[in-house]
Amino acid sequence: MLRLSALYRYPLKSGKGETLQQVGLDKLGLDGDRRWMLVDEASGRFLTQRAVAQMSQLSALWNASGGLTLTAAGHSPIDVALPGREAELRGVTIWHDTLRVPDAGDEVAAWVSEFIGKPTRLVHVPLDRARMTQAGYGKDDDQVAFADGFPLLLIGQASLEDLSQKVGRSLEMLRFRPNLVIEGSQAFAEDGWKRIRIGDIEFRVVKPCSRCILTTIDPQTGLRSEDREPLATLQKYRAEEDGAMFGQNLVNDGNGRLEVGMPVTILE
């Protein structure tokens, strides 16, 4: 039997992940998932662990009012309120998308600038300012917050075990930053799924996920693996035209709640 074995949320894009037992979903995926992002103050361009490895050590906890608590070693925690309607809008760029979104203010900007080591701003994306998903996949009205391309990422537990075996050491699931982990399937069975249901919610499987250098960063220490693993192994046996594939991007059709342990049904 297939079941939902883990749930993860990343309130701040490229910050530490939160392990959840249950969570709601809205049009942009898991409640509070990647609704916040750090950007370079001068250019407005988004910041991630790809260029700023210490972001792996930045903890961001989402609260039910939509706000954020940031913590990092050597820094006092800071609570960030959800920007109000009067908040300044900042032009930001994430991949090929340019949008204007609320800025979280000067106090937290000073905090994150000190942590990052250069002038940095924290921004939030409300539902009415969300981006459209990657063209050519899914439906025309599919939207995404600050995730790379799609609201949700799914990985099969057996797929991680297969990769760990080939690499020769146990790999942490959080290296791959999924939202949903499914157990009970064969390794890479998710590659063949088109639609699934978890609880009362249906999901479309829209596109495999191309992996990058971020997978080589240890989520516990923030250090990159000198042997470029697991990316080097993925590139040997999971390579496609667009890169080394691991995991599937999903879009949820409808809102609702998910809880670890729920059965998973393959609809197509």
124 and 7 in one domain?
A: no
241 and 140 in one domain?
A: yes
Q: What is the pLDDT of residues 28-60, one digit of tens each?
A: 999 999 999 999 999 999 999 988 988 999 999
Which residue type sits at 118? K
120 and 191 in one domain?
A: no
126 and 114 in one domain?
A: yes
178 and 56 in one domain?
A: no
159 and 109 in one domain?
A: no
pLDDT of amino acid 245: 96
Q: Of the residues 84, 109, 130, which one is the last residue of a structural domain? A: 130
163 and 112 in one domain?
A: no
82 and 197 in one domain?
A: no
102-129 burial: b if 16+ Cβ within 10 Å, else e = bbbeeebbebbbebbeeebbbbbbbeee
Q: Of the residues 89, 107, 130, which one is the last residue of a structural domain? A: 130
71 and 180 in one domain?
A: no
Please give the radius of gyration of the chain, using alpha carbons only, rounded to the nearest integer: 18
Q: What is the pLDDT of residues 184-230, one digit of tens each?
A: 999 999 999 999 999 999 999 999 999 988 899 888 888 888 899 99
162 and 57 in one domain?
A: no
**Sign of the alpha-carbon torsion through 94, 109, 79, 115:** positive
Q: Of the residues 83, 98, 130, which one is the last residue of a structural domain? A: 130
40 and 14 in one domain?
A: no
Q: What total of structural domains would you count in the chain?
A: 2
Give the range of the structural domain holding residue 140, as residue numbers without chain letter: 3-29+133-266
141 and 252 in one domain?
A: yes
